[in-house]
């Protein structure tokens, strides 16, 4: 049972936990800023002075709440080895927000005639609205998380998020690593050595911190000598940026613009609810019995408050609570992380660190997390369902290809649109890839759930799932025929677009009918159920 002696605020293991958790959050903030500023040409001041403060405020509030929960659990049980639940920015959905929502929306606003500043403000408002929507969804679903888990198979939930991890959070950062290979590959190698091979680091330091230091020394040691070629950029001057995360109602102005992105935004929130349930179970198995609903409510409220205060990326409890417990972290590491990240968004030193540290230094951590999420999808899913997990990856791959094909840096947007609309020889490959990638998270869930039902011999259930997919296709929630991936009423589309809608909607419908007929004419076995 332990003792009832006064709890310490800091333990020796809290330093390691703090360093690891801070670097994780810093990596995600860096990718968010680099993607928006470097890829889409977003004004840096909007990112650092409007998006960062509110986003990091959510991390501060969530970690403070989890710290209090850990200390309360320790007091109630009389144990001094309770480890707080780690909370930070969710990597897959934060990267997804940057690449799939905020960046494309910014380009769309500029193409509609807004100047750069006005387009950036409109995009920020859309990001806030998205976060508020996700926060509300997570708050409601926190009371029904168990029901969601029961009705969506694990292969569908984990496969969909693993698809995001593999192609958006793994492959795209890997490309950034190999843009400066001498630096990035060394950092990635240390991460794999420490965290995958589980080798001990000097002085017991966290592997993430060692990789971070090695890559930074290589970058600023070899760069000035000209050994990194065009991959080296001298550090920018330190800037004083002070911005309070004050509540604002500007998110209301972004609600209308956020509507076309609901097929992405809603699954982002849903995945975090299920992830929060799994994380709580993981912590319970490690000996810390947190109440699932409390964990989910804190996550939801942190996201909601961040959205009200200008944030654009949602928070989530991290899956690594048992790992932090093993390194001796207790409740001090979440307290320190919340303060450092939260105040960093207010006083601006976080944005200066993001500008100082190139993505090739930070991206290896994202690649490792992507590997971990993908491996978990297979480890936590029964072997007979692994085909369903793999099947669910294809829509995410299509979305990644679409991101690159629609990047105006490489392919002019007007040329991309012309190629997409060319159906003179049937549906063009580019149109197929784009339509498959639109709404890919929900598509992945549908595909995996359908295949799981077939594997279980539940043919009629598989047919019902396909009918759901047909209905979702009809309104563009999945397989949107618009380049932006927006939802629509099919009768409001032009003739060519309607033909595409009918073909994809009909594909699910026809397959459902085929399965029902097979079920009716095939001799029954004990496995054939609804």
Q: How does pLDDT run across 392-435, given as a tens digit for each residue? A: 999 989 988 887 776 655 555 444 455 555 555 556 778 888 89
> Are 281 and 364 in a shared domain?
yes
Is residue 229 one of the residues assigned to a domain?
no
> Are 183 and 329 in a shared domain?
yes
Please state, in angstroms and rounded to a whole number, the distance separating the CA atoms of residues 356 and 376.
33
If one counts the domains in the chain, the total is 2
SS3 state at 316: strand
Is residue 210 one of the residues assigned to a domain?
no
- What is the Cα gyration radius of the chain? 23
Tokens 């198995």 — which residue?
A: 285
Output the six-digit token pair for 253.
Answer: 């102005």
Contact 23, 365 (CB under 8 A): yes
SS3 state at 75: helix
Output the six-digit token pair for 265.
Answer: 């935004």
> Are 443 and 317 in a shared domain?
no
> Are 142 and 35 in a shared domain?
yes
Q: Kindly report which listed range (36-40, 54-58, 167-171, 423-427) carries the lowest average pLDDT score.
A: 423-427
> Are 426 and 377 in a shared domain?
no
At 457-492, the pLDDT tens digits run 999 999 999 999 999 999 988 998 887 677 888 888
Q: Which of 310, 314, 292 is nearest to 301 (CA)?
A: 314
Whether 271 shows a pLDDT value over 70: the answer reads: yes
> Are 313 and 459 in a shared domain?
no
> Are 289 and 251 in a shared domain?
yes
> Are 46 and 71 in a shared domain?
yes
Please state, in angstroms and rounded to a whole number, the distance separating the CA atoms of residues 358 and 349.
15
Chosen domain end from 349, 381, 413: 381
> Are 364 and 408 in a shared domain?
no
> Are 61 and 175 in a shared domain?
yes
Is residue 516 one of the residues assigned to a domain?
yes
Residues composing the chain: 530
- Residue 468 belongs to what domain range? 388-521
Give Cα 230 to chain centroid, integer Å: 30
> Are 186 and 289 in a shared domain?
yes
Is residue 187 one of the residues assigned to a domain?
yes
SS3 state at 135: helix
Please state, in angstroms and rounded to a whole number, the distance separating the CA atoms of residues 62 and 317.
9
Higher pLDDT, 365 or 453: 453
Please state, in angstroms and rounded to a whole number, the distance separating the CA atoms of residues 480 and 500.
9
Mean pLDDT over residues 83-97, rounded? 87
Chosen domain end from 346, 381, 416: 381
Output the six-digit token pair for 375.
Answer: 């491996």
What is the secondary structure of 166-226 as a DSSP string? IIIIIIHHHHHHHHSHHHHHHHHHHHIIIIIS-PPPGGG--HHHHHHHHHHHHHHHHGGGT
Is residue 490 one of the residues assigned to a domain?
yes
Sign of the torsion formed by the C-alpha atoms of 279, 36, 47 and 171: positive
Mean pLDDT over residues 430-447, rounded? 87
Strand pairing partners for 426?
A: 424
Identify the band that residue 2 occupies on the pLDDT scale cut at 50, 70 and 90: very low
Is residue 417 one of the residues assigned to a domain?
yes
> Are 75 and 190 in a shared domain?
yes
Is residue 231 one of the residues assigned to a domain?
no
Chosen domain end from 338, 364, 381: 381
Contact 205, 211 (CB under 8 A): no
């Amino acid at each position: 049972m332990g003792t009832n002696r006064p709890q310490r605020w800091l333990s020796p293991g809290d330093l390691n936990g703090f360093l690891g958790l801070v670097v994780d959050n810093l990596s995600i903030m860096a990718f968010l800023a680099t993607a928006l500023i470097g890829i889409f040409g977003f004004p840096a001041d909007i990112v650092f002075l409007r998006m960062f403060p509110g986003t990091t405020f959510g991390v501060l509030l969530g970690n403070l709440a989890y710290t209090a929960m850990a200390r309360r659990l320790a007091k109630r049980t009389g144990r001094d080895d309770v480890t707080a639940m780690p909370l930070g920015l969710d990597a897959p959905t934060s990267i997804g927000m940057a690449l799939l929502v905020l960046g494309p929306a910014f380009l769309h606003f500029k193409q509609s005639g807004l100047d750069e500043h006005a387009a950036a403000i409109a995009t920020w408002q859309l990001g806030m609205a998205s976060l508020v929507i996700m926060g509300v969804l997570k708050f409601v679903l926190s009371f029904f998380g168990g029901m969601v888990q029961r009705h969506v198979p694990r292969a569908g939930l984990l496969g969909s998020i693993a698809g995001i991890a593999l192609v958006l959070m793994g492959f795209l950062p890997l490309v950034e690593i190999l843009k400066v290979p001498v630096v990035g590959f060394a950092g990635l190698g240390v991460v794999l050595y420490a965290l995958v091979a589980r080798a001990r680091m000097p002085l017991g330091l966290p592997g993430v911190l060692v990789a971070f230091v090695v890559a930074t020394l290589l970058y600023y040691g070899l760069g000035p000598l000209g050994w990194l070629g065009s991959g080296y950029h001298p550090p920018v001057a330190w800037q004083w940026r002070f911005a309070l995360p004050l509540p604002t109602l500007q998110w209301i102005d972004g609600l209308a613009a956020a509507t076309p992105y609901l097929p992405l935004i809603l699954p982002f929130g849903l995945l975090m609810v299920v992830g929060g349930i799994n994380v709580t179970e993981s912590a319970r198995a490690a000996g810390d019995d947190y109440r699932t609903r409390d964990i989910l409510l804190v996550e939801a409220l942190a996201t909601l408050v961040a959205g009200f205060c200008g944030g654009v990326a949602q928070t989530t409890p991290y899956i690594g609570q048992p790992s932090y417990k093993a390194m001796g972290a207790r409740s001090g590491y979440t307290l320190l992380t919340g303060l450092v990240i939260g105040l960093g968004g207010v006083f601006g030193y976080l944005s200066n660190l993001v500008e100082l540290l190139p993505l090739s230094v930070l991206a290896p951590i994202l690649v490792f997390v992507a590997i971990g999420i993908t491996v978990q999808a297979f480890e936590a899913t029964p072997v007979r369902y692994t085909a369903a997990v793999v099947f669910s990856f294809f829509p995410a791959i299509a979305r990644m290809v679409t991101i690159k094909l629609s990047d105006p840096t490489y392919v002019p947007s007007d040329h991309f649109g012309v190629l997409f609309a060319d159906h003179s020889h049937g549906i063009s490959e580019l149109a197929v890839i784009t339509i498959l990638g639109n709404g890919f998270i929900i598509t992945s869930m549908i595909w995996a759930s359908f295949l799981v039902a077939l594997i279980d011999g539940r043919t009629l259930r598989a047919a019902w799932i396909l009918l759901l997919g047909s209905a979702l296709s009809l309104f563009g929630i999945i397989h949107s025929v618009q380049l932006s991936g927006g939802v629509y009423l099919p009768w409001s589309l032009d003739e060519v677009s309607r033909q595409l809608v009918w073909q994809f909607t009909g594909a699910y419908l026809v397959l459902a009918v085929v399965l029902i007929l097979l079920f009716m004419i095939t001799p029954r076995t004990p496995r054939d159920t609804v």
